Chain A
Amino acid sequence: MKNLLTSSALCMALPMAAWAADKPETLKIGMTTFLTGSASVFGVPARDAMDIFVENRNAEGGINGVPIEVTYIDEGAGAEALTSEFRRMADSGGAEVMLAAISSGNCQTLAPLAEDLKVPNLMWDCGTQRIFEEADYEYVFRPQGNATSEMLAAVAYLLKTHPDFETIAVVNQDYAWGRDSWEIFHTALEVMKPDVEVVGEFFPKFGSPDFSTEISRLQALRPDVVLSTSWGGDLDTFVQQAFQRGLMNTSTFVLPLAESSLERLGNALPAGHIIGARGDHYFLHPERREDEDFTSFMAQYKEATGGIPVYSVFHASQAFAALTAAYEKAIADNDVDWPSEEQLLAALDGLEFQGLGRKLHLREDHQGVESQLMGTSVQTGEYPFATLENIMIFDGEGLLPPVGEESTAWIRTLDAGFVDSLSVETYEN
């Protein structure tokens, strides 16, 4: 019996081994990221971090002796430049794997393109939950969570910490992310706390320089909670203007992306507001901050850029970890020098990997299961900006709809018991 198993395993392995690819001189990777435009607040740190990951890895001999080389494509240069560069990299540029993209819009353009070009693509930072819910992909994977898990974690944290709030207003950027995230948040609130009243919905235009009018209205409305999923300059402006005019003393702000603005906001973010990080991303990650790989990266990053890393750096670390783990797994599973594309794709299916946060894995629909970290702002004086206390890390598994189900429909089936069903670890800071 044992013999039979061995021989059939051998038979399976033989043709696989025969397909193995020749070891390339370098492993070429194409990565799309914002080097220009407002989203470069995420794109540039991610690129800087990627350079560090690649350099570290290459210093250790790369993957099975093959050094890694990353070429960056600017997502800010416009859709034509992006798609034609993506194509060029994947077709003739010799890129074996692509990492795309930050913008959800770009992910929606590039995912079908990667599928057509038959190039493995890791959607490393974009948030939209629609891609895998609307179509099946063979070549596209997402080594991170999505908007559904991020928003449900924010709702759960809000309900756990402020169970008695009655009114909420929202000020989101007027584009797909701002609208989608509010839809998820709102739907979840409706089923988990149906008595909450939505007193104001504002969608100022993307990149708006002034929120004075919205803030005047919010002061007149006096909601218990103000939600904003904005990011970058928009979030900074909104929080600063709200802080200057005292709105932050009367309402609790829920800011699911504010981890990326902590350092810039400085003392303008007072204590007591809810901060999220699009995953378990935090430069003082309570479970990871003592680990050697974590601390040494923080030091390297500080030296290279002078700042603390934001969530896009963590997302880049996850994409890089998924990439290297997939190659290692494919090489080990098939006992080859270098895996073929089929072997790499097989390794990516269900892959487990760990970046700078907790361990993640990819589901059968290629969606990553990522833990979510939420916390409350506090000004301790240890840093010249707000840090987090009362941190909760939610396990990612419970925050995603089952494979094949659509997010909003699934959320509608939930109820008030959902929050207690989640697996969560709590840390004081």
Chain B
Amino acid sequence: MNLTIFLLALFDGISYAALVFIVALGLTLIFGVMRILNIAHGSLYAIGAYATVSLTGFFLALGFAPVFAFPLMLVSAVLVGVLLGGPIEWLLLRRIYDKPEVLQLLVTFAVFMILEDVQRLVWGTQPYFQASALQALGNVTVFGVTYTVYQLILLPMVAIGLLLGLRFFLRHTVIGKLILATTEDREAAQSIGIDAERVFLFTFTVGAVLAGLGGALASPTTSILPGMGADMIVLSFAVVATAGLGQIGGAAVAALMIGLGRSFAVYVWPEVAVLVPYLIMVLVLLVRPEGLFGSPVARKI
């Protein structure tokens, strides 16, 4: 493998990793704070994509410039968080925090099933494609290979921005500190007057916004069609578990490992590319049962 090919695979891997990371970020945040693995995260991702495509199509038809697609991505993500994420926490999850883990998982699985059909009822079965945002940014050519600026530069920048932003938010703002405190010890946090319910509602909404944002950012690069959420959820599970549940920085590393592993596989041995995320996950968990950055949980006696 020569240097050019190495670099090309690196670029592809990074832009892929960026997108996966953004989706996994919301998942790991929710798990870190609420100890709930949200299977419906994949549906929120898909709905974020659908919403972006519909909104962009609508506004472009009114004559707005293609650049307008970028703010619409944010709007869609926030809509997903507020209209779906909030109610899911408030109406369903809130009632099952004291139930066994399996029931919590199944509630989100049930939401996943419902949202899969809702998507089809609202948007039908035909694939959508809306690439104005991507076209607005143009292409760059590296070593004779053309990349889109959107995938090569914008997506990784957004991913890094979100990573740093979220870390800053959790460590240096009051709400962030409240969230961290609740994560650390819910009962102690409540005893000093933190409203854990509101923290949970807020966290879940933010997580859902991140899922929606992942979908919104993915939408210009791919066909939006039924079933896209089911694939994404398994992939982001792999990222989150490899990193260690609730590890935000770890998720970035794991997403990079999986993204690079996959793109190098396409260059070296395309047949195993699809296996790479799971192989990495199993290998990591075999060596470090809590994931790369997870810490062992103290067991109750």
Are A234 and B267 also in contact (CB < 8 A) when A209-B218, A210-B16, A219-B144 are?
no
0/1 interface trace, chain B 1-18, chain A, CB 8 Å (1 if under): 000110011011101100
Q: Distance (Å) between the CB of A260 and the closest chain B CB?
A: 11
0/1 interface trace, chain A 39-76, chain B, CB 8 Å (1 if under): 01101100000000000000000000000000000000
B82 at the interface (CB under 8 A from A): no
Q: Distance (Å) between the CB of A25 and the closest chain B CB?
A: 33
Q: Are B227 and A207 in contact (CB under 8 A)?
A: yes
* Separation of A327 and B148 alpha carbons in the complex (Å): 57
B191 at the interface (CB under 8 A from A): no
B161 at the interface (CB under 8 A from A): no
Residues on B with beta carbons closer than 8 Å to the beta carbon of A5? none
A244 at the interface (CB under 8 A from B): yes
Residues on A with beta carbons closer than 8 Å to the beta carbon of B274? 174, 204-205
B185 at the interface (CB under 8 A from A): no
B98 at the interface (CB under 8 A from A): no
Interface size class of A (residues with CB under 8 A): 35 or more
B225-255 interface with A by 8 A CB criterion: 225-228, 231-232
Q: Are B266 and A213 in contact (CB under 8 A)?
A: yes
Q: Are A209 and B223 in contact (CB under 8 A)?
A: yes
Residues on B with beta carbons closer than 8 Å to the beta carbon of A40? 125, 226
Looking at the complex, which one of A202, A247, A264 makes contact with B127 (CB distance below 8 Å)? A264
Residues on B with beta carbons closer than 8 Å to the beta carbon of A265? 129
Q: Distance (Å) between the CB of A50 and the closest chain B CB?
A: 16
Q: Are A210 and B221 in contact (CB under 8 A)?
A: yes
0/1 interface trace, chain A 229-259, chain B, CB 8 Å (1 if under): 0001110110011001111000000000000
Q: Are B16 and A212 in contact (CB under 8 A)?
A: yes
Are A38 and B227 also in contact (CB < 8 A) when A220-B144, A244-B139, A264-B129 are?
yes
Q: How many chain-B residues does the 8 Å CB contact rule pick out?
A: 47
* Separation of A174 and B144 alpha carbons in the complex (Å): 28
B131 at the interface (CB under 8 A from A): yes
* Separation of A299 and B283 alpha carbons in the complex (Å): 58
Q: Distance (Å) between the CB of A400 and the closest chain B CB?
A: 31
Smallest CB-CB separation from A205: which chain B residue?
A: B274
Q: Distance (Å) between the CB of B116 and the closest chain A CB?
A: 9
* Separation of A237 and B222 alpha carbons in the complex (Å): 5
Q: Are B273 and A204 in contact (CB under 8 A)?
A: yes
Q: Are B125 and A203 in contact (CB under 8 A)?
A: no
Residues of B within 8 A of A (CB): 4-5, 8-9, 11-13, 15-16, 19, 120, 124-129, 131, 134-135, 139, 143-148, 151, 218, 221-228, 231-232, 262-263, 266-267, 270-271, 273-274
Q: A217-B267, A233-B224, A240-B223 are in contact. List 12 more A-B contacts (CB 8 A).
A: A38-B225, A41-B127, A204-B270, A212-B16, A213-B12, A216-B145, A217-B8, A219-B145, A219-B146, A220-B144, A240-B131, A245-B148
| 30 A-B contacts (beta carbon < 8 Å) | A37-B226, A38-B225, A38-B226, A40-B226, A41-B127, A41-B225, A44-B125, A202-B266, A204-B274, A205-B274, A207-B228, A209-B218, A210-B221, A212-B12, A212-B221, A213-B266, A213-B273, A216-B9, A217-B266, A220-B143, A220-B144, A234-B223, A240-B131, A244-B131, A245-B147, A245-B148, A246-B146, A247-B146, A264-B126, A268-B131
